[in-house]
Structure 1
Amino acid sequence: MSVTSAGVRVAADEEARAEVDVLNSRLEKTSQLTKKIQACLGRLEDSGKSVRDVAGPLGGETRRLQTLSHNIDDVIAAIEKLRSPAESKNDEEQIIRSGPDKMGLSTYLASLKRLNKSLTDMQTSNLRANQQTMTDLARLIKFGNNLLEGHFQKLLQGETPPKVEVLHFITKDKPFPVLSQDKLARIGLINAYMATNARQNNVSSAPQDSSVGKLYVDIRSPYLLSSLSTLATASVNTSKKVNPDAMYRAGTNAIGSYAKAMEGLFISEYDNICNVFTRDDWGPIFQAVCQASLAELARTLRELNTHVRAHLNTDCFLAFEITDIMSNLSNKIETRTGELKASLAAALKPIRETAKSSPTEMLEDTRRKAVALQALPSDGAPIPLVSETMKRLQNMAEFIDPISGIMLSIGDGGWRSSSVAKRGGDRVPSLASFDIGADGKEIFANYCVDTIDALLSVVSQKSTSPPKGKPVQGAFLGNCVVIIERMVRDSDLSRLLGSRIGMLDQWRKKAIALYTDPCKDLSMHLFDVIHTSRAQRPTSGQADSASILKGLSTKDRDSIKSKFHAFNTSFDELVTRHRSLSLEREVRQMFAKAVQQLIEPLYNRFWDRYHEIDKGRGKHVKYDKSSIAAVFMSLY
């Protein structure tokens, strides 16, 4: 290595040591600075802690002061707000005391609503300073409500006449009057306010007992009652006939007009109520408004029921008619309003039970009257009971619609028990009454057949005790049968009874058998028992009368003469009796035909064989074939 290279290396090392020394010096200074900074940070931390210890309570107090400030501002605002109603009370009081007529209903209601809100706000704050103001406001609101109720009453009374002439609307088929739209709107607003006020004050009452509800009922109920009272009275009066024994005729009682008027008035009133009150109040208000009229209806129906019970045989048809009319009325009102079905059913119940029991009672009455007969007419004439009974059935057929319903409730054959009439509506229903497929008209037809059969059975028995003679008995029974048949044929009963009327055939046959019973004895005179030798006995139809008589002995000839005499006498008696009896035209013809069919063939045969017994002198043979035929024809 050269000296020059060594020098250079030494110089580089010295330079490096010098740089290291510089760096060490700077590092020491940095360390010292770090220590100073750490000391400063410690002192700063201590200072910050002191600041926090001092500033923390000051911040919380500041926040509390801020909250208090806000609360004070709110209280001041609330006080200002609460002072406002008291300051404006004079203005509101002027409106309230002026009344809705002067201020107008809308303005008046708005004022009352503001007063109510102010009172509610004051009651919520419950500040002692406002106690007097609250008392004044409550008194003013009460005064205003009273004036409002008076205004409601005035409006409603102004639209409600004492009554309307219901016949005017019925006869001209006009709708019954309702409240005007203007009045409905105004009283509806009043009701809405009063209902809201009641809810806010937790006042609970039935709709019809509320302030305006009671006013409405008190005003409208008498209007309905007075409008219907005339027809209620007329319904009772028209039930009293000039002739008490006359049968009631459909439509002659005012009950139909009464029901029609009630329907019109009630439905119109329901429309009014729907326009004034809320949905939940419709039913109770409607029931309350109609209650007095329904009570009057119930009283009227009780009076009519008393009348019907006293004249059941002639006026039970009125019970049928009332039952039908009132049932239809109930259905119509319920369909339209959903109300009054139970009330109308309760009013109808007494007379409906009378209608249900009357078929049985009339059947029993028919039996009693028939049994009570002391003596039947000596000429075989029919008794009034037969036509009366059939007339009653005819009249019942005219009321077939209500009768059908009543028969369904009784059940097929339910009239056969006498206890039905006594128990009336308390009778346990039979299974037949629950037959949903039953036909009320068919049941009524069965009732008619039972009534006719019961009548004929009793009078048939009565005709044999005491004995009147079978011809008279037959005449009586025949007359009854023909009258029944005729009254069925000439009325609505014909289409109801149909083939059932064939049951009369057995009674007709019985009547003919009784009437023609003497023909048995009469025909005995026409049977000849002549003793001849085989050689002398002529074949029937082979020989004439003269030839037959030649073969007879004197004794046999005398026997033939006696038979002619006996026949003449009996036949004349039969003819005389036939002409003396009181017979219906059909019965006279029926009996004449029956007698002719029994006697004429026998007589003609007898006459053919023996008429030459008196040589045509008529001493023994009174009738020839043509003359006796003429007599028979005269019997028709």
Structure 2
Amino acid sequence: MVGQRRAMQAEEAAEVEVLNANLSKMKSVSKKIQASMSRLEQSGRNVQEAIGPVYGNTQRLQVQNANIDRILAAIDKVTQPLDLKDREERILRSRPDRVGLQEYIGSIDRTNQALQNLQQTNLRSNQQAMAELSSLLEIGTANLEGEFRDMLKQDSNPIEPLKQITTGSPYPRISSGKSGQLRTMHAHITTYAAQSTARGDLLPSAKAYANERGHYLMMSLQNLATACKSTARKVDANAIYRQGSNGIGSYAQGILGMYTTEYDNICHIFNREEWGPVLQATCQSSLQAFAATLQALDTHIRENMQTDCYLAYEIIEVVSNTSIQLESKTGELKYAMSDALKPIRETAKSSLSLLLNTTRQQIQQMQSLPQDGNSVPITAEVMTRLQLMTAYLSPLSSIMRSLGDGGWTQTPSAGNSTASIPTLKSFDVGADGKQLFAHYATDTIDVLLSTLETRSRTLLRGKSLQAVFLANNVAIVSRMITSSELDSLLSPSSGGKLDTWRKKSTQSYTDAWKEPSSHLLDVQFTAKAPRPPSTGAAVDSTAILKALSSKDKDGIKEKFRAFNASFDELVAKHKSYKMETEVRRHLGRDVQGFIEALYGRFWERYHEVDKGRQKYVKYDKGQMGQVLASLSG
């Protein structure tokens, strides 16, 4: 056991010695490594000190190379527009139709881009180049404007709108292909010209369009304008204007068709904000011609107001409707059309009071009236005028609303048209136009009949003749109302006023028959004699006469004689008068109803005073009835 222990100790001691030997070796290696690290660190510092200056120089060289590259690029950029000028000048100094529109527009785009690049450099040395490019761009744009104008001219040959009006065929438009080219040209012209165009002014291409197409519109509509003026002239100066006989309807249709077509062309070429101004400029010259035409028609109407006032009403209706349609389709030209219409509208407004005053003056200036009581032509003329006016209710309603109810009764003084001065009633835009016309017609009839009545008192002798004259004119008025649209337009109150005039004439006529009827009044009763029986009981004429004295009988005879003379005279006058059928029938019946009962009563009492000799009693009851009945036939 002791031996084994010693052997184990010896073995462990040997291992310890080996470990110590290895430890010594590790320390020696560590020292060598530490010495090597020190040398390596020293070498690194030496290398860094040697390479540092070289690296700095390399960085500076890199910066310099970058700067040189940028300078070279800037030089290329500066010289590039100069090189481009030589290339583009050949194209831009030519014409678009020779080099091709697309190529020409591309050249303008490249030149414009080059100019913008030069302007961004802000180098003084580039000023000359920028001036040359600007001049070249100006030439190119001017040539493009010329091509724009030439392309418009190709489709701007004047037409005769009457063909489209009569056949309903569409008005010629600029083709879609050309519209696209024109739009492209306008867009490129705008890019350059917008910088030099004052705010609110049209661009050069828009001005070119307005000039070319404006001339086209004016020349195309010229014949229609001439036709309006020529159709206003009449062979017979006294002929009344017939609705639709003037060319204003065709003129307005031509304007509407051509303007709306032109608006469609504009919408395909220009930008949205340009549509209105370009249309206004394009239509300006033809609108001025239209206004001049209306002014000429207005002069003609004023010179022939009695016969041609209806033309003014027709023009107002036609032009107003055209203006409304243009406004709905284009949103423009409403005020221009309204301004052109204004003179005729004022003339139409003044015509209402002027016609009333003229009617009054014409009657007052009459030197004689028909001595047979016949009506005068002016009555039919005035009623014909009212009948014709019913065909123009729309424009007349507008005019009368602007005047206000009764505004036509004002008499305008020279140089001061009170008809144009608004009143409170003129602001009643909701007033019924038909009712206003009925009031005007009633006022016209009142002026006519009242002035005729006043004049008849001066020029006609005798109430019966005056009454017949008034009744005949009332009959003409009534007949022309019931036989036309006036019948449905005039209110019941208007008919009532006419009945008043009819009753007035009837009363005046029957008053003339009071003289013979006064001889039929029996008031000669004695106190002792019995009162004659009332109607319904038999009358004994012989008995009545026996109760009378000789003087009373003579009085009865004188009454019959006086009645006969007065009655025969009035019958003769009645038959000599020229009466309208309804007037003769109406007046005859009134006289019959008035005289027949009185005469019958008087004859029944006193006819025996003549004892059948017909010396005093000329008519018996039957004969009197026949004579009175003949007054109605």
TM-score range, shorter chain: 0.7 to 0.9
Look up the SS of the partner of 2:234 in the other structure: coil
Look up the SS of the partner of 2:343 in the other structure: helix
Q: Does 1:614 align with 2:607?
A: no
Instruction: Say if 1:232 and 1:297, in contact at 8 Å, map to a contact too.
Output: yes
Aligned with residue 505 of structure 1, among 499, 509, 512 = 499
Look up the SS of the partner of 1:390 in the other structure: helix
In structure 2, the partner of 1:335 is 328
Aligned with residue 521 of structure 2, among 519, 522, 527 = 527
By how many angstroms is 1:486 displaced?
1.3
Q: Name whichever of 122-131 and 558-567 sits farther off.
A: 122-131
Distance 1:207 1:400 in 2: 42
In structure 1, the partner of 2:159 is 164
Instruction: Say if 1:160 and 1:220, in contact at 8 Å, map to a contact too.
Output: yes
In structure 1, the partner of 2:318 is 325
Instruction: Say if 1:412 and 1:433, in contact at 8 Å, map to a contact too.
Output: no
By how many angstroms is 1:237 displaced?
2.1
Q: Does 1:249 align with 2:242?
A: yes
By how many angstroms is 1:82 displaced?
4.6
Aligned with residue 596 of structure 2, among 577, 594, 600 = 600
Aligned with residue 192 of structure 2, among 182, 192, 197 = 197
User: For 1:473-622, what aligned pairs fall within 5 Å after superposition?
Assistant: 473-499=466-492, 500-532=494-526, 534=528, 537-540=531-534, 541-622=537-618
Q: Deviations over 1:432-475 (max 9, x none)?
A: 5344xx21111111111122223322332333346722111211
Q: Name whichever of 538-547 and 403-412 sits farther off.
A: 538-547
Look up the SS of the partner of 1:245 in the other structure: coil
Q: CA distance change for structure 1 residues 209 and 537 in 2, over 3 Å: closer, same or farther? A: closer
Q: Name whichever of 256-265 and 115-124 sits farther off.
A: 115-124
Q: Deviations over 1:56-101 (max 9, x none)?
A: 8876665444233223223323433554554455554444455322
Distance 2:43 2:367 in 1: 143
By how many angstroms is 1:246 displaced?
2.4
Q: Deviations over 1:110-141 (max 9, x none)?
A: 22222322333234335677666555544443
Q: Does 1:238 align with 2:238?
A: no
By how many angstroms is 1:291 displaced?
0.4
Distance 1:115 1:42 in 2: 71
In structure 1, the partner of 2:20 is none
Matched residue type, 1:423: T
Matched residue type, 1:483: I
Q: For this pair of structures, how many residues does the alignment match?
A: 627
Aligned with residue 347 of structure 1, among 329, 340, 349 = 340
Distance 2:294 2:53 in 1: 93
In structure 2, the partner of 1:365 is 358
Instruction: Say if 1:207 and 1:284, in contact at 8 Å, map to a contact too.
Output: no
Distance 1:330 1:539 in 2: 82
Instruction: Say if 1:600 and 1:629, in contact at 8 Å, map to a contact too.
Output: yes
Q: Name whichever of 497-506 and 606-615 sits farther off.
A: 606-615
Distance 1:63 1:326 in 2: 86
Q: Does 1:259 align with 2:255?
A: no
Q: CA distance change for structure 1 residues 633 and 77 in 2, over 3 Å: closer, same or farther? A: same
User: For 1:422-501, what aligned pairs fall within 5 Å after superposition?
Assistant: 422-428=417-423, 430=425, 432-435=427-430, 438-465=431-458, 468-499=461-492, 500-501=494-495
Under a length normalisation based on structure 2, what TM-score does the superposition of the two structures give?
A: 0.87
By how many angstroms is 1:490 displaced?
1.6
Instruction: Say if 2:301 and 2:309, in contact at 8 Å, map to a contact too.
Output: yes
Q: Which ranges of structure 1 fall in alignment gaps of 5 or more residues?
A: 1-29
Distance 1:456 1:353 in 2: 28
Instruction: Say if 1:100 and 1:148, in contact at 8 Å, map to a contact too.
Output: yes
By how many angstroms is 1:328 displaced?
1.0
Q: CA distance change for structure 1 residues 457 and 545 in 2, over 3 Å: closer, same or farther? A: same
Q: CA distance change for structure 1 residues 408 and 37 in 2, over 3 Å: closer, same or farther? A: farther
Aligned with residue 174 of structure 1, among 161, 169, 175 = 169
In structure 1, the partner of 2:308 is 315
Matched residue type, 2:163: H
Distance 2:578 2:496 in 1: 25
In structure 1, the partner of 2:96 is 100
Look up the SS of the partner of 2:189 in the other structure: helix
Q: CA distance change for structure 1 residues 489 and 60 in 2, over 3 Å: closer, same or farther? A: farther
Instruction: Say if 1:208 and 1:217, in contact at 8 Å, map to a contact too.
Output: no
Q: Deviations over 1:482-533 (max 9, x none)?
A: 1111121122111110312221111111111111112222111112233346
Q: CA distance change for structure 1 residues 483 and 86 in 2, over 3 Å: closer, same or farther? A: same
Q: CA distance change for structure 1 residues 403 and 49 in 2, over 3 Å: closer, same or farther? A: farther
Q: Does 1:384 align with 2:380?
A: no
Distance 1:39 1:468 in 2: 166
Instruction: Say if 2:408 and 2:419, in contact at 8 Å, map to a contact too.
Output: no
By how many angstroms is 1:603 displaced?
0.9
In structure 2, the partner of 1:188 is 183
Q: Name whichever of 407-416 and 545-554 sits farther off.
A: 545-554
Q: CA distance change for structure 1 residues 583 and 56 in 2, over 3 Å: closer, same or farther? A: farther
Distance 1:391 1:574 in 2: 34
Instruction: Say if 1:470 and 1:515, in contact at 8 Å, map to a contact too.
Output: yes
In structure 2, the partner of 1:116 is 112
In structure 2, the partner of 1:26 is none
Q: CA distance change for structure 1 residues 548 and 131 in 2, over 3 Å: closer, same or farther? A: closer
Instruction: Say if 2:403 and 2:423, in contact at 8 Å, map to a contact too.
Output: no
Q: Deviations over 1:579-629 (max 9, x none)?
A: 122222221111111111100111112222222322323222111222222
Distance 2:122 2:163 in 1: 62
Aligned with residue 217 of structure 1, among 190, 196, 210 = 210
Instruction: Say if 1:207 and 1:213, in contact at 8 Å, map to a contact too.
Output: no
Aligned with residue 627 of structure 1, among 615, 623, 626 = 623
Matched residue type, 1:192: A
Instruction: Say if 1:208 and 1:288, in contact at 8 Å, map to a contact too.
Output: no
Q: Does 1:292 align with 2:288?
A: no
Q: In percent, how many aligned pairs have the same letter? A: 46
Look up the SS of the partner of 2:308 in the other structure: helix
By how many angstroms is 1:179 displaced?
1.3
By how many angstroms is 1:104 displaced?
2.2
Q: CA distance change for structure 1 residues 213 and 481 in 2, over 3 Å: closer, same or farther? A: same
Distance 1:107 1:369 in 2: 79
Matched residue type, 1:630: Q
Instruction: Say if 1:381 and 1:581, in contact at 8 Å, map to a contact too.
Output: yes
By how many angstroms is 1:325 displaced?
1.1
Instruction: Say if 1:297 and 1:347, in contact at 8 Å, map to a contact too.
Output: yes
By how many angstroms is 1:338 displaced?
0.8
Aligned with residue 407 of structure 1, among 400, 411, 417 = 400
By how many angstroms is 1:536 displaced?
5.2
Distance 2:305 2:353 in 1: 11
Look up the SS of the partner of 1:251 in the other structure: coil
In structure 2, the partner of 1:6 is none
Look up the SS of the partner of 1:462 in the other structure: helix
Matched residue type, 2:182: I
Q: Give me the CA root mean square deviation.
A: 3.6
In structure 1, the partner of 2:14 is none
Distance 2:482 2:228 in 1: 34
Under a length normalisation based on structure 1, what TM-score does the superposition of the two structures give?
A: 0.87
Instruction: Say if 1:207 and 1:285, in contact at 8 Å, map to a contact too.
Output: no
Q: CA distance change for structure 1 residues 345 and 50 in 2, over 3 Å: closer, same or farther? A: farther
Distance 2:455 2:620 in 1: 40
Instruction: Say if 2:165 and 2:253, in contact at 8 Å, map to a contact too.
Output: yes
